[in-house]
Structure 1
Amino acid sequence: MKIPINKLTKLLKSIPQWSTTMTVTVCLYILFIMVVLSISFPLKSHKTKVETIVNERANGIADLDNDANGLGQNEQKLLQRARDLSTANNRTDILRDAFQKADLDGDALLSLQELARYINRRIREHIDASIRNNPILFSEIDQSPRNGLITWDEYYVYFLKSLGYDDAFIRQVDRKRNSNLDRKTKELLMRDKALWNEAARSDSYTLTLDEFLAFKHPESSAANLLSLVDDLLRQFDEDGDDHLTMDEFSNVVADDLDDKWRQYMIEKNTFQRQEEFKRLIDKNHDGVADRSELLSYVSPKHPRHALQEAAILFNIADRNKDQRLSLRELEEAGNVFMASRMINSAQTFHDDFR
């Protein structure tokens, strides 16, 4: 059937016209969501359709970072960690080993998806190891008496011993003033005391096994993650039904920029928040997110964390913008990778959750 030219012209004029910037931003955000889903549900072939799309974007990673995902603050935090990090003697060996493990197809280049998969694996390994080793360390510290609780005094002794101080020196230390200790040790003890007070829910002087996990590995603690879910609901659950709808999640007013969730959400426009809700939170697609779905969303094991970290690393290290990282590019930005979750999952998560 032929359509008259004058009717076709009117039809085209009636279609809303988006700006080029808005169109690019929307496309990149959808691309970001698609890559997250491909990491969550990996395909048999390493060369997936999603990866091909990513590879064809000339400036995809840079735009993904700056326009679609609001990664600017996270990138600055990673760069600061890299500046503060001392260069390890075996840095080259560590980076090459990680590169080879992440290079799934063996082409001596890392794609965004390969890097994100490897980071996600490292995150999962760290969390699983933290949970597995927590009772072992707890039993080692719980000595006087061995009663299933760790006191601050018990932890204090363990901490100083871990720094190389002997029993005779520790007995002479004034624990209220931290006398005879150097400034760095005092600062670490003050930091740990503050974290201890946050983790101690039942008694400010003792920690249970679960509380000790929240103290040492807050990113691995179910109690901490449930607290994050409570924060989400408190901030966005307008009708108080203990669920989040897409409208509640996406309609954010910048009236409290001191809150971490609003700081994160306000960096995205309404369309991006709606897409994030539909594709990353609402697993059963019923239009409502319950606590179980929100718990999965805030978990460090969620692939969105790994993909964001990978996008930051690409933005920093991919000098020739070919959407691939060579070993040379990785080594040239060595301290950045050493400070990232690709290598140092434990410290980066501890810094982010504290």
Structure 2
Amino acid sequence: MIRPMLMCFVLCVVYGSSKPTEKKSRVHHEEPLSNLEHDDDKNNDYDHEAFLGQDEAKTFDNLPPEESKRRLGIIVDKIDGDQDGFVSEDELKVWIKNAQKKHIYDSVEHQWNDFDLNADGRISWEEYKNVTYGSYLDDPQADSEYNYMLMMARDERRFKVADRNGDLIADKQEFTAFLHPEDHEHMKNVVVQETIEDIDKNGDGFINLKEYIGDMYTAEEGEEEPDWVATERQQFAEFRDKNNDGKMDREETLDWILPADYDHAEAEAKHLLHESDANKDGKLSKKEILDKYDVFVGSQVTDFGEALLRHDEF
């Protein structure tokens, strides 16, 4: 059943399998473009993963140079959104962000058919509700371990926020926002609301210090409080509770769980533009990119990649 599977997933994300002394976090950080060191004096591996995503970068590493150039040319045409024959810094930034979020899109694709029961290319709230909570709706008394009515109400509220046109039917973009709300600007308020509801034990609509610490750590009898708890108390006083009223409101909670991280995609787009813009006009032609193909993609001067040349996109 999908409902128990989703419950398991939610509980694992929120609580994990951490020991009581281990710190739990609700902060959503932007994923790194690559886990490799960014050192262009040695190699361009970081740039390759940032530009292509990790999986696709590995594919290019096994291709001969001419095939790498050919495929890169196809990619350049995709990046050039306005089809003016040039790639701008903004277009590069959008491409890099999408490359890094490919795993999210793949996750949505993987789940899509489970929920699109009538195979019309969209998922209605009724379809999602019936798949996720069907067994509960059939027999509400059968399982009382979780408050499924509350969970269903929260899901419906989130679904409605993701559903931009208000028809209670989600296309893939809207369903992606529903499943991964932290990555969408218009979903941030509902992420904050859900977080406060989870932590706010006294129901006043705020998160006080006791609730803040209690969400991350529960002391066991006779256990000495770990050092990081004291650090979190200090963090709450100095950084979380910005207006010093002893609690976090919605804006302060937003700053905590969805911090304004350094924009790695923008920095990488600027770097690639700087490295490849031969005439320094602030944009890249296809020729400029292909001339510097080794900055954007990897390749191997062997025939090992020949088996990989047949790819649906290329």
TM-score bracket, shorter-length normalisation: 0.3 to 0.5
TM-score (normalizing by structure 1): 0.34
Structure having the larger proportion of residues in helix? 1
